[in-house]
Amino acid sequence: MLKMEETWKYEINDLVWAKMKGFPPWPGRVSEPTDMLKKLPKKNARCIFFFGSDNYAWIDVICLKPYYEFKNSLGFGCRSQAFREACKAIEQYIEDNRIEQKNGLSESESRFENLVQSSSPSPPANKKKNSTARSSVSNTSVKRRSKAKADSDTSNSNIKPKKKRARSSNAKLEVLGSIGLTNHLSPHRRNNTLLDRPEVQLPESTPIDVTMVSKALLNKNIDPSAKKFGFIGLGLMGSGMVKNILNSGHKVLIWNRTTEKSQKFEEAGATVALTPSDVFGGSDITFSCVSDPQVAKDMVYGNCGILPEVIRGKAYVEMTGIDPETSQDIGEAIMNKGGRYLEAMMQGSKIEAEEGNLVVLAAGDKSLFDDCQSIFCATAKNSFFLGEIGRASKMNLILHSVKAVALAGLAEGMALADRAGISQKDMLEILGMTSLRCPMMLEKGQAMMENNFKTHQALKHTQKDVNMSLSWSDIMEQPCPVTASVNEVFKHAKRLGYSDHDTSAVYVRAKF
């Protein structure tokens, strides 16, 4: 929010990004009000000329940002044809001013010259006529220079605005501007401006306490397996699982791309390996939990990957959220060398991983699923075997898609309540009394209300899972229009800078 002393810093001809309700930040210029606009008594509003649409509107200064300062961040916020044309128009305006200033013309003189040229009956036929016309215009501009300087932008008011289709976005913008929309908004609606959007900062992560045994784990009667276990990846989910594996009495050999994360686990009893290949070579069963399908492939096929170490009897459990095709490829590569393979997808968040309350969906080698029961018992409250390779990854994508759709709906509902002046706290309380009540909706709703997007499940991973689900649905020729729309919502939230925040940060995309 702008401070009061900054209220009057926008002056005539300043280039700005102007945010009007229902539209993305739009390139504009501070202008004198035209005859189309009613004078507003509100002193902190500016008349803005919108490039591309050639429309005018009163915009509160809190909804303005300097054009040059925010060009790189806001200039790519919308991909519509109208927005691109507006960006071209303002850049052309800047270039024309630069050329005219280089030629020694003042801004008011150049506008007057352009006005005379645009009102001439026909363009010059050749260079000679063009030179004569320019000379005539220049002489006229000298005679009328004082008038041009006094009129400044008011000369633009004599130009009739271009006719637009009644239902176009530009026509709506013109209508909204002409009735002074910002003056009629409720206090709640006026507060939800672009400048109110939470500052994009990396969310603080709470260091994991490896030595603390969760209550869920204390209530489980686990008989640690004598097998040697390896674990690749100590991210949000992997760290919680390894913590419970160690606290349940298992021995584990670990590797992580950043070695700093491995230190606290080493102090708690884990052994640290130099490469993924070393983990696999020194373990009977190796678990992998990395960020995405490409990294999962790198752990198998890449430099220092596990594939050269695969021999008969060695086992590999893929816990990364991957698509069915990637899982099939990894499984075939391992089984062709005599190894065993199991895909074990996780449902849950960072908190559930640390408490040992995940849900595991497994498919592949049934004997390997049985050998992993002590590990699954330590890390999850339930584990299910679904059959052949691919079934678990498919089920995982379906569930993540349903979650994403529910989160996007919740975000829009919370934003709508806020815009309408309805208490979000009351909304969540009432929601908790209905059939919509579930831990995820209440937890994420609370986070949205408080703008607290501390990461429990990264937004970028949810969008990745939704995107993979859509790719798989294309192969199945199954229409998923709602999921496709939600994918765009999450992609936009990522573009706003919230990739590493919690999935609840999709609320920012809905509200602003």
| pTM of this structure | 0.63
> How would you class 459 by CB atoms within 10 Å of its CB: exposed for 0-12, middle for 13-18, buried for 19 or more?
buried
Residues 124-153 pLDDT 10s: 444 444 444 344 434 444 444 444 444 444
Q: How far apart are CA 4 and CA 44, in angstroms?
A: 10
Contacts for 337 with CB less than 8 Å, ≥ 6 apart: 307, 310, 311, 312
Of the residues 389, 412, 434, the one at which a domain ends? 389
Locate 146 and state its tokens: 């004082």
pLDDT at 432 over 90: yes
Question: Does 370 share its domain with 436?
Answer: no
Quick one: pLDDT at residue 198?
73
DSSP secondary structure code for residue 182 in this structure? G
CATH of the domain at 473: 1.10.1040.10
Question: Does 376 share its domain with 434?
Answer: no
Question: Does 377 share its domain with 416?
Answer: no
Question: Does 360 share its domain with 411?
Answer: no
Question: Does 17 share its domain with 165?
Answer: yes
CA dihedral 232, 235, 237, 243 (to 10 degrees): 70
Residues 440-458 pLDDT 10s: 999 999 999 999 999 999 9
**Helix, strand, coil % in the chain, rounded to nearest 5:** 50, 15, 35
Contacts for 118 with CB less than 8 Å, ≥ 6 apart: none
Question: Does 111 share its domain with 184?
Answer: yes
Average pLDDT, the chain: 82
Q: How far apart are CA 14 and CA 262, in angstroms?
A: 53
Question: Does 169 share its domain with 296?
Answer: no
Domains held by the chain: number: 3
Amino acid at 192: N
Q: How far apart are CA 105 and CA 93, in angstroms?
A: 15
Question: Does 165 share its domain with 46?
Answer: yes
209 within domain boundaries: no
Question: Does 375 share its domain with 338?
Answer: yes
pLDDT band at 70 (very low <50, low <70, confident <90, very high): confident
Question: Does 159 share its domain with 294?
Answer: no
Residues 370-421 pLDDT 10s: 999 999 999 999 999 999 999 999 999 999 999 999 999 999 999 999 999 9
59 within domain boundaries: yes
201 within domain boundaries: no
pLDDT at 123 over 90: no
> How would you class 367 by CB atoms within 10 Å of its CB: exposed for 0-12, middle for 13-18, buried for 19 or more?
exposed
CATH of the domain at 240: 3.40.50.720
Q: How far apart are CA 37 and CA 29, in angstroms?
A: 16
210 within domain boundaries: no
295 within domain boundaries: yes
Residues 11-27 pLDDT 10s: 888 999 888 776 788 89
Range of the domain at 129: 4-196
Question: Does 182 share its domain with 275?
Answer: no
Question: Does 345 share its domain with 269?
Answer: yes
pLDDT band at 104 (very low <50, low <70, confident <90, very high): low
174 within domain boundaries: yes
CATH of the domain at 94: 2.30.30.140
Q: How far apart are CA 413 and CA 418, in angstroms?
A: 9
